[in-house]
Chain A
Amino acid sequence: MNKGYSFTRRIILVVALVMLSLTGWSQLVHAQAASIDPQAEKILRRMTDYLGSLKQFSLRTQVTLEDLLDSGHRIDYDISANVIISRPNQLRAERRGDVIEQTFYYDGKSLTLHSGSEKVYATEPAPGTIEELLDYARESLGLIIPASDLVYRNAFQLLMQDVNFATIVGKAVISGVKCDHLLFSRPGVDFQVWVAEGGRPLPYKYVVTDRVTPARISVSTVMSNWNVAPAMANAGFKFVAPKGTKPITFLRQDKSSGSSR
């Protein structure tokens, strides 16, 4: 009798343990399948909402393009630019470096890339909004416009598309501003965003890492000198060709040879 009771107790214990572990397991695995930290998502949304709400802003960008030479050496290419944007359809980006002096103009009707150092410019008719312009410039002309991912009005949807991992890495100070450091991942691509704490949740750094190739090439953009109320009086979104500058064309990306004109 006593022996039977103890055996019963043992069975009940085993069953209880099995049930407990199974339910616990199921909850654990379920929770980890969607490993998106809602807090990280919230900070990203705060940033994109704030940036999307700005009518006009200007900033300085420092883009670093990583590259892997055939020799196996990792090198960086750096491009600095001053960008000024007036929604919905004006943008100017000035690249200034030791060797290159280039300005991109967009006035809602046409876009122009002007190389001051090489004294040439190319003008094309352009779509009507900054969003369409960014798509067109990237896809058809192969132009890089710094941090354009974050400028889209629907940047949050674009960034969060297919994201299956999001976390807050921690805090960091970028360009003298204390930021939340966020990491997001989606198939093939990781991106990190540093968003300022406080009332003006502006992005200060943005790193996109390609996970498809073993080289894990990254494009980093450090943003500084944010001005959410820039002087617009002499913003100069319209290009006027300086004397002695020659018109050329773009080599379109969708065709292997020649340009559209």
Chain B
Amino acid sequence: MAVRVLGWLAVLALLAGLVAGFGYAPREAVQGNVQRIMYLHVPAVLTAYLAFGLVFVGSLGYLLTRRPGWDRLALAAAEPGVIFTGITIASGSIWGKPTWGTWWTWDARLTSTAVLFLVYVGYLLLRGMIDEPDRRARAAAVVGILGAANIPIVHFSVKWWRALHQPSTILGPEPSPIAAPIALALFVNWVAFTLLLFYLLAKRTEIARLEDMYAG
């Protein structure tokens, strides 16, 4: 029941976010309407980080307690995490085309996110290759923990590397200073995405629990 409510809340919030992003927020002066994709891009990356944080928590929880519920959390968080990361990359790329003329720039955030994407796709691939639940959970947990510990390291290394090869101009999608309506639209979308994440988490952990029950 609570999950249903959560689901509807998420839908409402997403609609509100759409309205806020395309209707309410003003047209950006420099980049035009394409800037609106930021309302997808930024919340997506924030939610992805949240998801991967939850993968870390689930991984740690499993290794410490051996309770399958933690492993299910890690799995349920990794899948949307990868999806949101994919959305981040795709939206960043789409935003980049009209703005910079290319589909891909080795922009610091885009590159970091891409590396993150690869790490967690690997995580899901690994899970797919192991049938035994305990071995799968343990192996995934180790990869999940290293992946999470690596996130700040990747972030800094890519940022510095980027700074070396191109003194960056205004590369972040946030125009500065951030005007109030833009911030509000961002916030609404971010809340919407987070609600969606939690809804997906609830559903996915339930499905995983049923799968385990059937297998046992």
Partners in one complex: no
